[in-house]
Amino acid sequence: MTQPTLRLDRRKFLQTSAAALGMGAIGFPTLIPSSVLGANGQVSPSERINLGHIGVGGMGGGHLSRMVAFMEHGRTNVAAVCDVDQKRLASAVGKTGGKAQPYRDYRYLLERKDLDAVVIATPDHWHAVQTVHAAQCGKHVYVEKPACCTIEEGKAMVKAARDNKIVVQIGSQGRSQKECYLANRYIANGNIGRVKKVTCWHYESPADNNPVPDCEPPPELDWDLWLGPLPWRQYNPRYCPGSFRWMIESGGGQIRDRGAHVMSNALWIMDADHTGPVSIETKGTLPTKGAWDVALKMEVVYEFKNPDWTLVWSQPGEMVPYFDRERQKALGIREGYGAVYHGEKDKLVVWVGDGQVFTETKALDWKPGPGAKEVYKSPNFDHHEDWFQAIKSGKKPVSNVEAGAAIANLTILGNLSLILGRKLHWNPVKQEITGDEEAHRMMSRPQRYPYVL
């Protein structure tokens, strides 16, 4: 491979990239937060979190915009941005007012001693490797869900975070949402009785019904760096950017995309982050043509023990219509996915699960009395704020790395059961598949050097 650029000269980069985007370099505004001067009681420069962003398209662009907003209030300083796509990288530098140093290769960004933390929003197959490398460089990490693509990757992430004493927040942000908190509190206080079953529904994964041939990658994309730990293959427009989700090795389908939100909320509400199923059985249909190979339809049944309860992921499953049409229209509530918590006395529905979480008014209106049980609440119901707080306090965030690995394991095991065509048995203490040598080998996979754990 071509030796990656250590870092890019900011002035030349702005001029070249701006021209490519049809902009003048002077089109990037200069932002000078008053907090740099310590004015008006704002956060002093020494208290700001110095950030690097790895992957700045899609969700990564959203995270960057949020951190730039924090930067304007003196809370953060976005010092570096990295992406394998030149156009996205140029846009990211523009969002920071031309202040952030651009990088094509994340490894050189991580070498910077002045960075406190990184936000990782690359495709799924990069999450574990980049998180481990960031931890080894002493950086706190906010990484998009799912945490990992294999079980061994999740174990490596947990170990790296512990060994290097850094905070990892997984981007399953539903746990920080107000209505998820209220649903959790409602159930924790016994309002529907002991929950024995949680049923999740989501629409099907798409099929690649019109395949296209392999071709050369677009000139702005460093294809080798995009692949990273994956085996080499020729570029195909069906592989990226967002469509990486529809391939097992780089995405995993709806179950690993939105399932990492809906089932994250389920494990949190069921207080099951540190447990796991004992068996996993999947039925479903796989595509027969095209580049995408994830399940189109699937139903996964997870059986938990001590306490005994069942988690079901159904794709598409039976959608539960939102009960308040006027509120639904006003808030733009989507019905396409969610979960029903079936208790011994009643049930509760929690819709959506990522940036938006909604639940029934009985949970919203419930007022806790004396002695009521409280549950964790993210500051200001904000996932980024929860991460900041954890960095400063040293306490675990709501979507910590152990929880993220447990959620990813559910999605990985569901896919493995479908691929192998049989029920799997899981030891939640050892975190390994038991009684099935072939499945046990599939807990890990080779990675392409030098992008390895």
The 3-state DSSP class for residue 43 equals coil
Give per-residue burial for 162-186: e unless 16+ CB within 10 Å, then b: eeeebbbbbbbbbbbbbbbbbbbbb
157-208 pLDDT per residue, tens: 999 999 999 999 999 999 999 999 999 999 999 999 999 999 999 999 999 9
DSSP E strands in 8-132: the ranges are: 49-54, 76-82, 101-103, 117-120
> How much is the pTM?
0.90
Q: Contact, 262 vs 407, CB < 8 A?
A: no
Domains and CATH numbers, the chain: 10-172 (3.40.50.720), 175-374+401-441 (3.30.360.10)
For 122-163, write each residue's pLDDT tens digit.
999 999 999 999 999 999 999 999 999 999 999 999 999 999
Per-residue pLDDT of the chain (453 residues; tens, 9 = 90+): 334 444 555 445 444 444 433 333 222 222 233 333 344 445 555 689 999 999 999 999 999 999 999 988 889 999 999 999 999 999 999 999 999 999 999 999 999 999 999 999 999 999 999 999 999 999 999 999 999 999 999 999 999 999 999 999 999 999 999 999 999 999 999 999 999 999 999 999 999 999 999 999 999 999 999 999 999 999 999 999 999 999 999 999 999 999 999 999 999 999 999 999 999 999 999 999 999 999 999 999 999 999 999 999 999 999 999 988 898 889 888 889 999 999 999 999 999 888 789 999 999 999 999 999 999 999 999 999 999 999 999 999 999 999 999 999 999 999 999 999 999 999 999 999 999 999 999 999 999 999 999
Q: Taking CA 222 as the corner, what is the angle to CA 220 and CA 224, rounded to the nearest 5 degrees?
A: 160
Helices (H) and strands (E) in the chain, counts: 15, 15
Rounded to whole angstroms, what are the CA distances from 224 to 42, 127, 229? 43, 16, 9
Whether the Cβ atoms of residue 175 and residue 273 lie closer than 8 Å to each other:
no
Task: Give pairs for 3-10: CB < 8 Å, separation 24+.
Answer: 4/104, 4/105, 4/107, 4/108, 4/222, 4/225, 5/103, 5/104, 5/105, 5/108, 6/105, 6/108, 7/101, 7/102, 7/103, 7/108, 8/101, 8/102, 8/103, 8/104, 10/93, 10/98, 10/101, 10/102
